[in-house]
Amino acid sequence: MEKVRACENRDVGNGLGFVLWGVGNHGGGPSREDIRALNDYIKESAENGVEVIHSTPENYFADVKKFGVNLPRHEADINLWAPGCYTSQVRLKQKYRQTENMLFSTEKMYTQAVSMGKTVYPEKEFGEVLYDMLTVQFHDVLPGSSVLPAEEMALRMMDHALEILSRLRMRAFMALTDGEPEAPTGEIPVLVYNPHPYPVTEDIMCEFMLADQNWTGTFHNPVAYRDGVKLPSQCEKENSNIPLDWRKRVVFRAELAPMAMNRFDCKIEVLDKKPVGDPVALFGDDPAVMLFITPHMAVEINRKTGLIDRLTAKGKTYLGKDSCAIDVMSDRHDAWGMTFREWRDRIGRFTLLSEEEGTRFSDQNAPIPSIRIIEDGPVRTVVEVVFGYEGSRARVWYKLSKQAPIIDVDIRVVNQEKRKLFKLGLTPADPTCTPVLEVAFGEEPMKQNGVENVGHKYITVTSPDGGRLNILNRGIYGSSWDNGTLYLTLLHSPGYTTHPLGDRPTLPSDRHADYMEQGERDFSVRLIAGDVTDSDTARAALTFNETPMAVNIFPSGDGYDPEGIPAGRVPFLTLSQDSPVTLTALKRTEDRADSAADWLVRLFNPTAAEASVTVKCPTLDLCETLTLGTYEAATYRVRDGQLLPCRMDEKL
């Protein structure tokens, strides 16, 4: 950077300005020739009465403060260019989010396990994971503006990082089960670790094997218990397709203690046959509408379109007609999106397949409806719908909770389209509202008129009557708000590195070219309806991304004390439950090789008002009440039972 005094057209007051220079993002730092040319320019400028010096951003802003310069203030995002980079090569973005989430939760687990003396901190392995993640952050890799081999390389690196984290996480998980009692005969233990410092209520899913294959023709139904109390449970289709009553998947609803191991025990009920839901009892016999009603919400699914036409909760309506439609927009040969800021040319929509087409897509021998119930029990009902658009197909699962006003929407797209963009459309009941999306350590009102927005884990829609719809995602960054429809951008499919250059052709005309996003792509969205006062959006979004870990293991019983509580079940670190503050990081400081290494805590207040929070960690002799400002991210080093404020780079 060059610092300039009395520089025409760059003056910001008091004759002070700066010029950024260099090769930019295409090849690195200054060459000797650059330095010589700049030194000549400095001499020439001095002759004209202008002082130019080599400098740094830190020195520039120090001078700004010294001279009392008032810089212009900008209070909105600066994402004005290349919106395609937030959608291109969506698998890579999802893998990166998955790796990031697993890293953060694994660091939390190791902080607890190491502090309890159960294992050692895996410095080398975490370093390898960070190397993979930082490499993938390269400016034409993570944005998806690379060639196909670079995409494959990045996916390979993320899989490498995920494999390391998977092994580490299991190692920490097993360490935290130390002291668990053996399971009584006939019971199947499911242990669940909650990485969050507050109670979490979730649908827990876990698979396990029965003690032996069941060839009797009966059905073994698992039911989850906690401390002898029966929980809402149901048995769902397992991953395996072996046609035998042997492998099981149990789903149950439970509250998890904060930052602790939670134990559940499954007992097996022997039934004459597998329970089958009654579609008429569940949804009624109206040929046009499926009406799903629980004490928590009512959902209306259109049998002719397969779309949600209404979502209500506590007497308030949150979604209207044609919600969860996959709309198809015209796309361009521009992987970056450098020549436009929105996709608004809607050319079609995925529509419900006919019974014949749906049966063929699902590869069934006998006809099967294209909208059907595939799971039902005390926890949830799962409705499967199959759609088509030209040569592409989509399978959508609506997971309708019976325990809360929640719908999980899981989408698998089989894409064969080129130069087309897919958006998931939601129709909020109030078309005049302004949705708000999460950005890095903050929130931002969405831009209007179809302009592409860039966000993170959630979008919220608040209506005048106080109702709030929370829309959570795992790895969807692009979105738009257009004429009362909220769109989540799923994927777009230009050619690889298609870069507009005037009127030059972007792809060769004499051969087949590779296009992005061909084949299967998966997306997960969660809809939560509720009131502003009882909706904890940021914590819910963090839980949706850093999901509790559930594993069926049979503890050895070593170290079990019948008079005490297994150490892993004692909450390690907690944040006051009535506070909105989240824990975004809990780990060893990066100077961990130094004898002065500490544990690091990073907190975030995701609201537009000050928030107090009490941080407790008995193992580290820590109990402090803090106040965080509006959207404040605060970092602390834990030392001698105190939280010492430090910079985000961990320096005091």
Domain boundaries, the chain: 2-67, 279-502+515-546, 573-652
pLDDT at 67 over 90: no
Residue with the larger pLDDT of the pair 652 and 529: 529
Burial state string for 68-91 with b = 16 or more CB within 10 A and e = fewer than 16: ebeeeeeeebebeebbbbbbbbbb
Q: 573-652: which CATH topology? A: Immunoglobulin-like (2.60.40)
Q: 279-502+515-546: which CATH topology? A: Beta-galactosidase; Chain A, domain 5 (2.70.98)
Quick one: tokens of 71? 């810089």
177: buried, middle or exposed (CB in 10 Å: 19+, 13-18, 0-12)? buried
Residue type present at position 349? R
pLDDT at 593 over 60: no
Cβ proximity of 161 and 99 under 8 Å = yes
* Mean pLDDT in residue range 23-43: 78
The predicted structure's pLDDT at residue 432: 87
Cβ proximity of 636 and 575 under 8 Å = no
To which residue do tokens 């910079």 refer? 647
Q: What is the mean pLDDT of the chain?
A: 92
| Per-residue model confidence as pLDDT tens digits over 311-333 | 999 989 999 999 999 999 999 99
Name the percent of the chain lying above pLDDT 90.
79
Cβ proximity of 411 and 525 under 8 Å = yes
Cβ proximity of 212 and 188 under 8 Å = no
Residue with the larger pLDDT of the pair 4 and 121: 121
Q: Compute how many other C-beta atoms are within 10 angstroms of the C-beta atom of residue 537.
A: 24
Cβ proximity of 361 and 353 under 8 Å = yes
User: Could you please report the per-residue DSSP string of 164-215?
Assistant: HHHHHHHHHHHHTTTTPPPPPTTEEEEEEEE-SSS-EEEEEEEEEEEEEEE-
Cβ proximity of 540 and 515 under 8 Å = no
236: buried, middle or exposed (CB in 10 Å: 19+, 13-18, 0-12)? middle
Identical fold for domains 279-502+515-546 and 573-652, yes or no, is no
| Per-residue model confidence as pLDDT tens digits over 92-111 | 999 999 999 999 999 999 99
Quick one: tokens of 102? 């697993």
- Rounded to whole angstroms, the Cα distance separating 563 from 565 reads 7
Q: Which residues contact 539 (CB under 8 A, 6 or more apart)?
A: 196, 198, 580, 582
Cβ proximity of 362 and 414 under 8 Å = no
Quick one: tokens of 79? 């994402």
Label residue 113 by pLDDT band (50, 70, 90).
very high
pLDDT at 73 over 50: yes
- Rounded to whole angstroms, the Cα distance separating 637 from 651 reads 9
* Mean pLDDT in residue range 428-440: 91
* Mean pLDDT in residue range 10-21: 64
pTM recorded for the entire structure: 0.93
pLDDT at 114 over 60: yes
pLDDT at 296 over 60: yes
pLDDT at 415 over 80: yes
| Per-residue model confidence as pLDDT tens digits over 354-395 | 999 999 999 999 999 999 999 999 999 999 999 999 999 999
Distances (CA, A) of 334 to 10, 82, 497, 500, 501: 33, 9, 7, 6, 10
Bridge partners, 442 (sequence order): 439
